[in-house]
Protein backbone atom coordinates (compact mmCIF):
# COMPACT_ATOMS: atom_id res chain seq x y z
CA UNK A 1 0.00 0.00 0.00
CA UNK A 2 2.81 2.37 0.86
CA UNK A 3 4.42 1.78 -2.52
CA UNK A 4 1.28 2.87 -4.46
CA UNK A 5 1.07 6.11 -2.47
CA UNK A 6 4.75 6.80 -3.10
CA UNK A 7 4.27 6.26 -6.86
CA UNK A 8 1.29 8.64 -6.91
CA UNK A 9 3.28 11.29 -5.05
CA UNK A 10 6.24 10.88 -7.42
CA UNK A 11 3.91 11.19 -10.42
CA UNK A 12 2.31 14.32 -8.96
CA UNK A 13 5.72 15.90 -8.31
CA UNK A 14 6.78 15.04 -11.86
CA UNK A 15 3.65 16.70 -13.30
CA UNK A 16 4.15 19.86 -11.22
CA UNK A 17 7.84 20.13 -12.11
CA UNK A 18 7.03 19.54 -15.80
CA UNK A 19 4.52 22.37 -15.73
CA UNK A 20 6.83 24.75 -13.86
CA UNK A 21 9.68 24.12 -16.28
CA UNK A 22 7.82 23.27 -19.48
CA UNK A 23 5.31 26.11 -19.61
CA UNK A 24 7.89 28.94 -19.46
CA UNK A 25 10.02 27.14 -22.05
CA UNK A 26 7.04 26.74 -24.35
CA UNK A 27 6.08 30.40 -23.97
CA UNK A 28 9.67 31.50 -24.69
CA UNK A 29 9.75 29.27 -27.78
CA UNK A 30 6.39 30.58 -29.01
CA UNK A 31 7.44 34.20 -28.56
CA UNK A 32 10.90 33.94 -30.11
CA UNK A 33 10.37 31.26 -32.78
CA UNK A 34 6.68 30.61 -33.38
CA UNK A 35 5.35 34.15 -33.43
CA UNK A 36 7.75 35.59 -36.06
CA UNK A 37 6.84 32.77 -38.50
CA UNK A 38 3.26 34.05 -38.65
CA UNK A 39 4.40 37.06 -40.68
CA UNK A 40 6.15 37.48 -44.03
CA UNK A 41 9.90 36.92 -43.94
CA UNK A 42 11.83 40.04 -42.98
CA UNK A 43 8.91 41.71 -41.20
CA UNK A 44 9.85 44.07 -38.41
CA UNK A 45 7.74 43.10 -35.39
CA UNK A 46 7.23 45.80 -32.76
CA UNK A 47 5.22 45.33 -29.58
CA UNK A 48 3.88 48.52 -27.99
CA UNK A 49 2.00 48.62 -24.70
CA UNK A 50 -0.07 51.66 -23.74
CA UNK A 51 -0.20 52.72 -20.09
CA UNK A 52 -2.61 55.51 -19.10
CA UNK A 53 -0.77 56.33 -15.86
CA UNK A 54 1.99 58.60 -17.10
CA UNK A 55 0.81 58.50 -20.73
CA UNK A 56 3.38 55.98 -21.97
CA UNK A 57 3.78 53.82 -25.05
CA UNK A 58 6.47 51.31 -24.13
CA UNK A 59 8.26 48.35 -25.65
CA UNK A 60 8.90 46.92 -22.17
CA UNK A 61 7.02 43.78 -21.10
CA UNK A 62 4.18 44.98 -18.91
CA UNK A 63 2.74 41.90 -17.27
CA UNK A 64 1.47 41.19 -13.79
CA UNK A 65 3.65 42.81 -11.14
CA UNK A 66 5.69 44.88 -13.59
CA UNK A 67 2.67 47.14 -14.06
CA UNK A 68 2.72 48.11 -10.39
CA UNK A 69 6.36 47.81 -9.34
CA UNK A 70 8.38 48.85 -12.36
CA UNK A 71 8.13 52.16 -14.17
CA UNK A 72 7.99 51.46 -17.88
CA UNK A 73 10.40 53.33 -20.13
CA UNK A 74 8.80 55.61 -22.72
CA UNK A 75 9.24 54.64 -26.35
CA UNK A 76 9.27 57.91 -28.20
CA UNK A 77 11.24 57.03 -31.36
CA UNK A 78 11.43 53.75 -33.24
CA UNK A 79 13.88 53.53 -36.15
CA UNK A 80 12.79 51.85 -39.38
CA UNK A 81 14.30 51.48 -42.81
CA UNK A 82 12.53 52.42 -46.01
CA UNK A 83 10.88 49.31 -47.44
CA UNK A 84 10.32 47.62 -44.06
CA UNK A 85 7.10 45.66 -43.64
CA UNK A 86 6.08 46.56 -40.10
CA UNK A 87 3.82 44.58 -37.78
CA UNK A 88 2.86 46.53 -34.67
CA UNK A 89 1.46 44.39 -31.86
CA UNK A 90 -0.56 46.72 -29.63
CA UNK A 91 -1.44 46.06 -26.01
CA UNK A 92 -3.19 47.99 -23.28
CA UNK A 93 -2.10 47.45 -19.71
CA UNK A 94 -4.98 49.24 -18.03
CA UNK A 95 -7.86 50.93 -19.91
CA UNK A 96 -9.25 51.20 -23.43
CA UNK A 97 -6.70 52.89 -25.70
CA UNK A 98 -6.58 53.34 -29.45
CA UNK A 99 -3.71 53.60 -31.92
CA UNK A 100 -3.43 55.71 -35.02
CA UNK A 101 -0.85 56.90 -37.53
CA UNK A 102 -2.75 59.83 -39.05
CA UNK A 103 -0.42 60.48 -41.98
CA UNK A 104 -0.95 56.88 -43.20
CA UNK A 105 -4.67 57.05 -42.41
CA UNK A 106 -4.11 54.00 -40.23
CA UNK A 107 -6.59 53.73 -37.38
CA UNK A 108 -7.82 54.60 -34.96
CA UNK A 109 -7.68 50.96 -33.87
CA UNK A 110 -9.21 50.16 -30.48
CA UNK A 111 -6.92 48.38 -28.02
CA UNK A 112 -9.00 46.96 -25.14
CA UNK A 113 -7.32 46.39 -21.79
CA UNK A 114 -5.66 42.99 -21.58
CA UNK A 115 -5.88 42.30 -25.32
CA UNK A 116 -3.41 42.34 -28.20
CA UNK A 117 -4.34 43.91 -31.54
CA UNK A 118 -2.13 43.90 -34.63
CA UNK A 119 -1.74 46.51 -37.35
CA UNK A 120 0.58 46.35 -40.34
CA UNK A 121 1.98 48.90 -42.72
CA UNK A 122 4.83 49.31 -45.19
CA UNK A 123 7.38 52.06 -44.60
CA UNK A 124 7.54 53.05 -48.26
CA UNK A 125 8.95 56.54 -47.86
CA UNK A 126 11.55 58.17 -45.67
CA UNK A 127 10.38 60.53 -42.99
CA UNK A 128 8.63 60.71 -39.65
CA UNK A 129 5.44 58.80 -38.84
CA UNK A 130 3.81 60.04 -35.67
CA UNK A 131 1.70 57.51 -33.77
CA UNK A 132 -0.66 58.37 -30.96
CA UNK A 133 -3.53 57.25 -28.78
CA UNK A 134 -6.84 58.46 -30.19
CA UNK A 135 -8.97 57.54 -27.17
CA UNK A 136 -8.93 59.99 -24.25
CA UNK A 137 -7.80 57.63 -21.52
CA UNK A 138 -6.36 59.72 -18.68
CA UNK A 139 -5.14 63.23 -17.83
CA UNK A 140 -1.78 62.19 -19.35
CA UNK A 141 -3.45 61.23 -22.65
CA UNK A 142 -1.61 63.90 -24.71
CA UNK A 143 1.70 62.21 -23.79
CA UNK A 144 0.68 58.95 -25.47
CA UNK A 145 2.52 59.59 -28.70
CA UNK A 146 5.71 58.57 -30.43
CA UNK A 147 7.39 58.47 -33.82
CA UNK A 148 8.61 55.96 -36.33
CA UNK A 149 11.74 57.40 -37.96
CA UNK A 150 11.97 55.93 -41.45
CA UNK A 151 15.51 56.13 -42.78
CA UNK A 152 15.33 56.41 -46.53
CA UNK A 153 17.35 55.43 -49.53
CA UNK A 154 16.11 58.42 -51.52
CA UNK A 155 15.58 62.10 -50.90
CA UNK A 156 11.80 61.68 -51.23
CA UNK A 157 10.49 62.39 -47.72
CA UNK A 158 6.90 63.28 -48.55
CA UNK A 159 4.08 61.12 -47.35
**Per-residue pLDDT tens digits of the chain, which is 159 residues long:** 567 778 888 888 888 888 888 877 777 776 666 666 677 788 899 999 988 888 888 888 877 666 666 677 788 899 999 999 999 999 998 889 999 999 999 989 999 988 899 999 999 999 999 999 988 888 777 888 999 999 987 655 555
pTM of the model: 0.72
CA distances from 92 to 25, 57, 65, 128 (A): 25, 9, 15, 24
Distance CA 53, CA 155 (A): 39
CATH superfamily of 42-151: Cupredoxins -  blue copper proteins (2.60.40.420)
Greatest extent of the chain over all pairs of C-alpha atoms, in Å: 82
The residue extents of the domains of the chain are: 1-38, 42-151
Amino acid sequence: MLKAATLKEAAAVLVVVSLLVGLPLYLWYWRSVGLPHRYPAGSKIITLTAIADGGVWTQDDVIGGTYWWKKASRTSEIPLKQGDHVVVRLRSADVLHSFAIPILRLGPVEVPAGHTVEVTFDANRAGVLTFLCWQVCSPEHPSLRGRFLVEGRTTDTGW
